[in-house]
């Protein structure tokens, strides 16, 4: 005990990791644990390693959690999509195509046959323009989200849009 106190009083310490004797200020003083036995440099390395390992663990845990709840997540996002104005508009279009009310057209920009229905305004579910995947992407890159994408809740379409 006597000896330990002696050691505490010297202003040099031996790092238990790199075994180098360094000045006391090279060791972080911890309020609860006292002066740490690894020098600041080794401490940094240890922290880095710990953080990296932890990050991995954290990620793995999140991935695992997602995997276990995947169906729930899917169901939730499906419901959210279905109930959003946007989702409803997409459903209306699909239903209209099925019933023959709406006919798929080629891309109005390039004439590509495979085109997707695009809404300038989701509040008008059956007013669609036909754009191929890349022109569709370009449109949204240029103008962002179309009108009424998901901002309006509990929205019922006006009579004329329901036709």
- Does the footprint of Zn ion cover residue 60 (CB under 5 A)? no
Nearest distance from residue 105's CB to Zn ion, in Å? Answer: 11
- Does the footprint of Zn ion cover residue 15 (CB under 5 A)? yes
Q: Indicate the residue among 64 and 145 with the shorter CB distance to Zn ion.
A: 145
CB under 5 A: which stretch of 23-31, 41-49, 71-79, 94-102 binds Zn ion? 41-49
Among 13, 27, 39, 125, binds Zn ion (CB under 5 A): 39
86 token code pair = 């946007």
Task: Write out the binding residues for Zn ion, residues 99-138 only, by CB under 5 A.
Answer: 107, 109-110, 112, 118, 132, 135
Nearest distance from residue 74's CB to Zn ion, in Å? Answer: 23
Q: What is the dihedral of CA 127, 130, 136, 138, to 10 degrees?
A: -100
Please, what is the angle between helix 40-68 and helix 70-83, to 10°?
70
- Does the footprint of Zn ion cover residue 90 (CB under 5 A)? no
Given phi > 0 = left and psi -120 to 50 = alpha, else beta, which region is 154?
left
Q: Indicate the residue among 105 and 161 with the shorter CB distance to Zn ion.
A: 105
Q: How many CB atoms lie within 10 A of CB 148?
A: 19
With beta carbons less than 8 A apart as the criterion, state whether 123 and 152 touch.
yes
With residue 35 as reference, give the H or E element that holds it.
strand 34-35
Nearest distance from residue 85's CB to Zn ion, in Å? Answer: 13
Could you give phi then psi for residue 125, rounded to 5 degrees?
-60, -25
The residue ranges that bind Zn ion (CB under 5 A) are: 15, 17-18, 39, 42, 107, 109-110, 112, 118, 132, 135
């Amino acid at each position: 005990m006597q000896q330990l106190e002696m050691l505490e009083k010297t202003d040099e310490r031996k790092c238990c990791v790199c075994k180098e004797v360094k000045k006391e200020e090279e060791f972080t003083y911890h309020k609860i644990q006292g002066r740490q036995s690894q020098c600041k440099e080794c401490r940094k390395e240890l922290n880095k390693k710990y953080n990296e390992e932890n990050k991995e663990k954290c990620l793995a845990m999140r991935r695992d959690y997602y995997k276990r709840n995947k169906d729930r997540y899917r169901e939730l996002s499906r419901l959210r999509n279905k109930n959003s104005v946007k989702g409803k508009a997409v459903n209306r279009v699909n239903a209209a195509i099925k019933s023959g009310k709406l006919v798929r057209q080629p891309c109005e920009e390039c004439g590509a046959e495979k085109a997707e229905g695009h809404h300038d305004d989701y509040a008008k579910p059956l007013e669609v323009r036909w754009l191929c995947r890349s022109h569709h992407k370009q449109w949204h890159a240029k103008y962002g989200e179309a009108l009424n994408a998901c901002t309006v809740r509990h929205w019922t379409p006006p009579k004329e849009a329901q036709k």
